[in-house]
Structure 1
Amino acid sequence: MPKVSNKGKQMPESPIRKLVPYADIAKKKGNKVYHLNIGQPDIKTPEVALNAVKNADIKVLEYSHSAGFESYRTKLSQYYKSHGLPIDVQDIIITTGGSEALLFAMGSTMDVDDEIIIPEPFYANYNGFSTASGVKVVPVISTIDDGFALPPITAFEKLITSKTKAILICNPGNPTGYLYSKEEIQQLAEIVKKHDLFLIADEVYREFIYDENDKHYSVMNVPGIKENAIMIDSVSKRYSMCGARIGCIVSKNKELMATAMKFAQARLSPPTFAQIASEAALETPQSYFTEVIEEYKERRDTLVSELNKIEGVKVATPKGAFYCIAQLPVKNADDFAQWLLESYDNNGETVMIAPAAGFYSTPNVGLNEVRIAYVLKKEDLVRSVQILKDALRVYNAK
């Protein structure tokens, strides 16, 4: 019998999606499932984007340029500049989601068995992208006790070897919601300059900052690291367009971008209709973002407040994105999350959460933590936490 690849065997399951079969079973039983496991916003996609697709007068659905529509890249450059980011058209390659941008970044900067340092917990798919690229993740642990702040630079320095090619951060963070300060970004800039590394910043949640005194500081704004900095972006969260699968890789490093273009050519082009929607989405008025951010801020405050009412639960207050990590009074969050769907309901309702161990690459870390996405309306978040509180009582009484 033919055998599958070792790479395939090593590919990690998604902690966000692996429990879907159990959720399906719960729903077939007639239970309502509150989805706190996945960052799928319930915010409406801007009408201007949807109308652009509905009204597109296309006779032949052609390939686009491998870098994406020039018209889209031009408007995207203007958008970035209006937000203080010095990004030109030639600095942008449109990708099939931020996921492909990350794969292009890894493929363009690292060879098999090279190493990438990532503060953990981190977006679970970084493990998958690294496995697919034959790259070794070297984690540096941040903790819930200090709100998942950047670990000391000395911790990074200790991990750098001749195989180290890049540091990857998500800012604001998924799954923690942590927002790196300007000082923390500058510290990272100094270390990548010193050791001649790339600094890859996944900035897809840039707009989602909730406290008045907090500001997002992009790697594209850091002086002196033009050749080191790579920015990853996406329309998925900004415009509630996860299904569009449009993102981009951005860098001032010409050799890096020429290399990434070869990967872009190999996959031919990003999807046409999704680019049409994404280009139109740039016309979205600022009032849309003002309302969305205010809504998410209220949801964050509601969720954190409700979680803090449960004895034994510890939560780090997120400053951005729309996730938080909660530490639960259980030994194994994977078992608890599966039990919630398979064996428990509260008046015909239960919740789906993402076990946080899958957001670490260090074994046996985060076993009692979960990631919660506050992408539901406030009443549903309150009800979800009520269910979670009762479920913890029942589970721990077994």
Structure 2
Amino acid sequence: MKFSNRINSMQESPIRKLVPLAEQAKKNGKKVYHLNIGQPDIKTPVEFMDAIKEYDEEVLSYASSQGLPELINSFIKYFETYDIHFEKDEILVTNGGSEAILFSLLAVTDNGDEVLIPEPFYTNYNGFGSSAGVKVVPITTKAEEGFKLPNKKIIQKLVTNKTKAIVLSNPGNPTGAVYTKEEMNILRDIAKENDLFIISDEVYREFIYDGFEYMSFGEFKDIEDRVILTDSISKRYSACGARIGLIASKNKALIKEVLKLCQSRLCVPTIEQIGAAALSNVSKNYFDEVVKEYKNRRDIVYNALQDMCGVIAKQPHGAFYIIAKLPVKDAEDFVKWLLEDFDVNSETVMLAPAEGFYATKGLGKDEVRISYVLNQKSLKKAMDILKHALETYKK
């Protein structure tokens, strides 16, 4: 029997496809330090859990396709802390940030259209593009340059009559890059001049280090009708399993059209929305402490990488990822070797091969993404193991 071209063209997740090797390593008695996936170990705010515990309705009913009113109000309150103002009919609750991006693509592109995305990018953007029948056209950025965007002329040359949107994450996954106002102005101007939407994935908004100034595309008044913000509580509040995201846009007509997609999947789970609505009550101290912790973790990983012979890694200023270029020919083979053939006192590490974060063939083959979501003690141990592994692998 024949499967669809759509599903055949989708790549496996480079983050998850080696999980069976990790599971086998554990069965063989190894401890695996998971640096491959962005699953925070930070405690989920008690406000979320308490709100769910207090739910005492006798019937667990459908929620509105748009989202529970109290959750939408909570998101409005959240954005106001960034001086970004949305009305109730400008926000849709989605099943995580992933559905938000997919729905946004489905709303503004047709089969065969193109979207520009700075690479390396969150690997599921490829999957969303395949699902929507859209070609991903990469804006290549380089580790040696801190993953900064190229100049306007280079990006403009990538625009065709099929280009419909620019998609990006800010701060970046997997790079940890934080776009400057100058870089954002380049994308703003290209969007205006070529009648493009900007789909801005801002799930790591809180995680900014080193005094870097963060700016949201939601702050650009002159293009507010073509900006689509996608967001999620997953990373911000360490609530990945809740699957609560959102689409926000001042383009009310767009929101009305995307609502059709929301209606087709009925609703987002009611219980999780109730928990998420309470997150607007989380104190600023929570973020202050979390950001401080992630910065300390970033420093552990970055400083350790600088001490490894042949490794190239620029300091990331946001999110909780770092891309490292390793002194190996094939990072995926190296990661497999770590899980199958290597250990230090029955301990090893799992990384995410970075080739799958690129659309340009051949790029990222010697790179890995490291997610610094483990506690500081575990990160120090994991970095020691990685250093020893690279020395052993060379031999």
- If the TM-score is normalised by the length of the shorter chain, which range does it land in? over 0.9
Structure 1 unaligned regions, length at least 5: none
**How is 1:48-63 mapped onto 2 (pairs within 5 angstroms)?**
48-63=47-62
Aligned residue in 2 for 1:256: 254
Task: Provide the C-alpha distance between the structure 2 equivalents of 1:71 and 1:179, rounded to a whole number of angstroms.
Answer: 31
Deviates further, 116-125 or 217-226: 217-226
Aligned residue in 1 for 2:79: 80
Cα shift readout 1:78-135 (whole Å, capped 9, x = no counterpart): 2211221122221100000000000110000000010000010000000000001110
Tell me the secondary structure at the aligned position of residue 281 of structure 2. Answer: coil
Task: Provide the C-alpha distance between the structure 2 equivalents of 1:142 and 1:347, rounded to a whole number of angstroms.
Answer: 38
Report the residue type matching 1:362 in the other structure.
T
Deviates further, 121-130 or 67-76: 67-76
Task: Provide the C-alpha distance between the structure 2 equivalents of 1:352 and 1:87, rounded to a whole number of angstroms.
Answer: 41
Cα shift readout 1:166-205 (whole Å, capped 9, x = no counterpart): 0111000000000001121122111100000001110000
- Root mean square deviation of aligned Cα: 0.8
Aligned residue in 1 for 2:6: 7
Aligned residue in 2 for 1:132: 131
Aligned residue in 1 for 2:174: 175
8 Å CA contact 2:74–2:278 kept in 1: the answer is no
8 Å CA contact 1:122–1:360 kept in 2: the answer is yes
**How is 1:316-355 mapped onto 2 (pairs within 5 angstroms)?**
316-355=314-353
Tell me the secondary structure at the aligned position of residue 229 of structure 2. Answer: strand
Tell me the secondary structure at the aligned position of residue 209 of structure 1. Answer: coil
8 Å CA contact 1:119–1:151 kept in 2: the answer is no
Report the residue type matching 1:81 in the other structure.
E
Aligned residue in 2 for 1:300: 298
Aligned residue in 1 for 2:185: 186
Q: TM-score, normalised by structure 2?
A: 0.99
Task: Provide the C-alpha distance between the structure 2 equivalents of 1:128 and 1:199, rounded to a whole number of angstroms.
Answer: 18
Q: TM-score, normalised by structure 1?
A: 0.98
Report the residue type matching 2:105 in the other structure.
M
**How is 1:304-315 mapped onto 2 (pairs within 5 angstroms)?**
304-315=302-313
Task: Provide the C-alpha distance between the structure 2 equivalents of 1:51 and 1:336, rounded to a whole number of angstroms.
Answer: 44
Consecutive aligned runs of 4 or more in structure 1 exceeding 2 Å deviation? none
8 Å CA contact 1:121–1:176 kept in 2: the answer is yes
Of the three residues 269, 272, 289, the one matched with 1:271 is 269
Report the residue type matching 1:119 in the other structure.
P
| 1:211 CA drift (Å) | 1.5
Task: Provide the C-alpha distance between the structure 1 equivalents of 2:129 and 2:191, rounded to a whole number of angstroms.
Answer: 20
Task: Provide the C-alpha distance between the structure 2 equivalents of 1:396 and 1:5, rounded to a whole number of angstroms.
Answer: 42
Cα shift readout 1:296-319 (whole Å, capped 9, x = no counterpart): 011101110011100001112111
Alignment identity in percent?
Answer: 51
Tell me the secondary structure at the aligned position of residue 233 of structure 1. Answer: strand
